Amino acid sequence: MSSTRKTIEQTPRKGRGAISNPEGRFATWLTERVDDGWEQEPQARRIPTELLVDSARTIIARNTSPDVPFDRSINPYKGCEHGCVYCYARPTHAYLDLSPGIDFETRIFYKPHAASLLEEELRQPGYQCAPIAMGTNTDPYQPAEQQLLVTRTILETLLRFKHPVTITTKGAGLARDLDLLTELAKDNLATVMVSVTTLDNALKRILEPRTASPASRLALVEKLRAAGVPVGVLVAPVIPSINDSEIERILEACKSAGAMMARYILLRLPFEVADLFREWLEAHYPLRAQHVMSLVQQSRGGKDYDSTWGERMRGTGIFASTIAKRFKLAARKLDLDGDIAPLDTTRFEVPLRQGDQLKLF
């Protein structure tokens, strides 16, 4: 392609994180809109969100990854309207023959039968109870949840079965379900991790445009703690030369709000996310883009990303080591370096349905 031709889709859209909508890595054909000097239709500035039904047959996803603290999770949604440009889940949209770019945050698949699928799996005779993680891929409290209630019906089912659950979210909409989480927490069946990426509203608006504001997330931490729900914070991702200078201030603010523990994850750029993040940098931080990517690569063995287990969450090298030391010192100073007590799996009980035979003992 001639160096004088300019890709059209290179300007930010209000309320969207990705700059463009490139094909996924499995696409047979690749297309690119360019300005070749001929008159063309103007780029649509606003792209509406489309909600699509996901006809899933099962709801609990299993994993054997050695560097995550759970072996099962539930994702009520595929795609996420929060629009976080750095989201490591973006490449999953390629499996749907959609783009990890704009498609990922505008074409949202939801699972309307999630609660019934969950009940069916929990009633299986051989089911062994262990905490179910939510929010590990896309956010269970993204905007669509306010009307669809998929996450809420899942929590209602878990409460009936006395099943433990952990939730990670950037969505202040979780406060709607405090009634359920409070009941779960009374039996040590729930913990919540609130993701706080920045305290800077201006950065939040371009980095993760449709998430709750920093102040709303801190308020959510306060509400959870006041309701007796164990709550921690996740500083994620830590992005070199973008938000890494905020680590200590974020932890101080979260501690003041009532957080009980804190963890962090270094920026991860798997597959298509690397190019999407580069576009974002060029659009919003053009003078800093090269420096940011240099630090990223210094922390990933000279590459944009290294998926090696044990290293993908923290990175390697001098910069990554410095971040680890800073976070450890700040968390220790604020007494945020401990763990929340393990959830109770012994309370799990399959509730009787109408017509079921009563237990003898």
pLDDT tens profile 230-279: 999 999 999 999 999 999 999 999 999 999 999 999 999 999 999 999 99
pLDDT of residue 35: 61
pLDDT of residue 37: 63
Task: Report, as an integer, the average pLDDT of 118-130.
Answer: 97
Taking all residues of the chain, what is their mean pLDDT, rounded to a whole number?
Answer: 93
3-class state of residue 81 by DSSP = coil
pLDDT of residue 1: 34
For the domain bounded by 7-27+47-260, which CATH number is listed?
3.20.20
Task: Kindly state the percentage of the chain with pLDDT values over 90.
Answer: 87
pLDDT of residue 8: 45
**Top-confidence residue, 43 or 221:** 221
Class of residue 38 by CB neighbours under 10 A (exposed 0-12, middle 13-18, buried 19+): exposed
pLDDT of residue 6: 38
Tens digits of per-residue pLDDT, 10-23?
689 999 999 999 99
CA distance to 144, 165, 287, 358, per residue, from 49 (Å): 9, 29, 32, 48
Q: How far apart are CA 118 and CA 114, in angstroms?
A: 6
For residue 82, is pLDDT > 60? yes
For residue 4, is pLDDT > 60? no
Tens digits of per-residue pLDDT, 265-282?
999 999 999 999 999 999
pLDDT of residue 43: 57
φ, ψ at 218 (rounded to 5°): -65, -40
For residue 9, is pLDDT > 70? no
Q: What is the 3-state secondary structure (H, E, C) of 272-336?
A: CHHHHHHHHHHHHCCCCHHHHHHHHHHCCCCCCCCCCCCCCCCCCHHHHHHHHHHHHHHHHHCCC
Task: Report, as an integer, the average pLDDT of 77-81.
Answer: 98
Domain-wise residue ranges, the chain: 7-27+47-260
Residue 249 host element (H or E)? helix 247-257
Task: Report, as an integer, the average pLDDT of 305-313.
Answer: 95
Spatial contact of 120 and 60, defined as CB atoms under 8 Å apart:
no
3-class state of residue 61 by DSSP = strand
Identity of the residue numbered 35: D
Lowest mean pLDDT across 37-41, 119-123, 158-162, 311-315: 37-41
Q: How far apart are CA 154 and CA 132, in angstroms?
A: 11
pLDDT of residue 46: 82
Cα torsion angle, 123, 127, 129, 132, sign: negative
For residue 334, is pLDDT > 90? yes
End-to-end CA distance of the chain: 75
Residue 207 host element (H or E)? helix 201-207
pTM of the complete model:
0.93
Q: Classify residue 25 by its DSSP letter.
A: T
Spatial contact of 264 and 238, defined as CB atoms under 8 Å apart:
yes
User: Please, what's the b/e burial string for 160-188 (b: 16 or more CB within 10 A of its CB; e: otherwise)?
Assistant: ebbbbbbbbbbbbbbbebbebbeebbeeb
Q: Which two tokens stand for residue 343?
A: 């959830």
**Top-confidence residue, 65 or 31:** 65
For residue 32, is pLDDT > 70? no
Task: Kindly state the percentage of the chain with pLDDT values over 70.
Answer: 91
Q: How far apart are CA 101 and CA 86, in angstroms?
A: 10
Q: Which residues contact 277 (CB under 8 A, 6 or more apart)?
A: 85, 86, 267, 269
pLDDT of residue 34: 64
Task: Report, as an integer, the average pLDDT of 106-116.
Answer: 98
Reference 60, options 148, 127, 152; nearest CA is 127
pLDDT of residue 262: 98
Under the banding of pLDDT at 50, 70 and 90, the label for residue 312 is: very high
CA distance to 8, 21, 22, 27, per residue, from 31 (Å): 12, 10, 8, 10
pLDDT of residue 353: 85
Q: Which two tokens stand for residue 60?
A: 């609990």
Q: How far apart are CA 312 and CA 108, in angstroms?
A: 27
pLDDT of residue 360: 57
Spatial contact of 172 and 212, defined as CB atoms under 8 Å apart:
yes
Under the banding of pLDDT at 50, 70 and 90, the label for residue 44 is: low
